[in-house]
Amino acid sequence: MKAALYTRVSTDIQAEEGFSLDAQLSRLRAYCESQAWEIYDIYTDEGESAKNLQRPGLQRMMAHIQEHHLDIVLVYRLDRLTRNVVDLHNFIQELEKHNVSFKSATEVFDTTSAMGRLFITIVAALAQWERENLGERVRMGQVEKIQQGKRTGAHAPFGYRYEGGELVPDGPAAQLVQDIFAKYLQGWGTMRLLRWLNDTTDPKLTPISGRWSQNTLRYLLDNDVYAGYVRYGFGSRSKGETIIEPGDHQPLIDKATWKHIQKLRQKKKSSPSRSGTGSYPLTGVLRCGRCGAPMIGKAKGHKTGRRYYMCSERNSSRTCDLPYIREFILNAMIRKEIQNIYEEQDNIDKPKRMELKNLKQSMDSKLEEIERRRSRWKDAFEEGLIEAVEMRERLDALQEQELELRAQREPVAKEIDYSEVELKLLKSFSRIWQEANMHEKKQVVNLLVRSITVYSVTQVSIAFA
């Protein structure tokens, strides 16, 4: 059985008797010897706390677990690995996924025995209880705060700032909020408001408002904090529970004005939309290359019914200058780009693909050499040829080399990692596109493509799934 020995000390307890790296390692080696386990590698985190699992040595061990090099993870004590029951539960689940056992040398935590598995089951139940209990405590605390008229949000909404923990109006920004509500009452729509708010030539607006989007403006118009209320449960995690209470902060608009504006907002929201994107197969993956917003489909002209894709920010706020792009032009660009990708992959085959495979094999050989060098340094330590401090320095240097090499290997592996199915789809994409219906086109796009960024009527960039 191949064992991973994991040791850790944090800076504040490194000198404590019985917890030094050498003391932990000595105990773990003795335990492996008593069980006739083969020590595959030693993973050490020096000066690292147990607050989370993001530690270099632990992450290197996790990589070896995922590569199926290990059979069991051995620690001196459970708190050397983690002090968080949820982290422990997640760690054990990851081990189980790769058929790796877990054992504490000085405690009953042991997934190789019935009693140990019982304790792990208890840990899982405790982890679930802790998650639910924490959520309930947070919810109760937030509800209590709302009932006291306090706001639970982390950031002050635009127009306010925190002063001594209390919301207070923020000068020019507060005045701008009042102007927005006043103009909306006068009949200004959101598109007109956005053009005004994003007018870079207005010296009164530029220093305080920045760039406004449709979502930002809608959030402001629907936020009852400006009428003097505080709320809980407005977001998606509220499980249907919404609590609104009078706040103890100064409102920027009176309640009568707020109620009138919400009636106007509700009336506009209930109006049917005149356009949709359901019949546009590229929506969902298209992104504007100039502002980063999603792109939508839109038909122009009742008689001609010309179909376009356009930036959603240009459609809503007029703050983006990406031009409308005819659907057939964009389809042609994408078909050409995908054909180019296929031809590149097809041409990689002989010399290039072989070169990349050789490069990947070379990197794999270097990774194996790093493992051999680790073993030699550990052998030298066991024979008393080097001190523990020197061994840790050597192992840390090898760990840095391994992480850098794995980072270089990943893009090379991906470049030659197209499956046969994906290559066939790339090859026949143009034919499929011509014959498929809208729903089928969308399925093919979602299967092959993660995102398509449109920079102009002649330039697109495709990120494949």
Q: Which H or E run contains 2? A: strand 2-9
Ramachandran bin of 419, using left for φ above 0, alpha for ψ from -120 to 50, beta for the remaining angles? beta
Active site residues: 10
Beta strands in 101-237 (DSSP E): 101-104, 160-163, 166-169, 229-232
SS (H, E, C) 199-245: CCCCCCCHHHHCCCCHHHHHHHHCCHHHHCEEEECCCCCCCCCCEEE
Q: Do residues 4 and 74 lie in contact, with contact meaning Cβ atoms separated by under 8 Å?
A: yes
Looking up tokens 């220093």 gives 207
Q: Do residues 359 and 343 lie in contact, with contact meaning Cβ atoms separated by under 8 Å?
A: no
Work out the angle at residue 160's Cα, subtended by the Cα atoms of residues 158 and 163, and round it to the nearest 5 degrees.
140
Rg (alpha carbons) of the chain, rounded to whole number: 30
The Cα–Cα gap between 351 and 348 comes to: 7
- Residue-level length of the chain: 465
Is beta strand 2-9 parallel, antiparallel or unpaired with respect to 166-169?
unpaired
The Cα–Cα gap between 322 and 288 comes to: 7
Q: Do residues 104 and 110 lie in contact, with contact meaning Cβ atoms separated by under 8 Å?
A: yes
The Cα–Cα gap between 20 and 346 comes to: 56
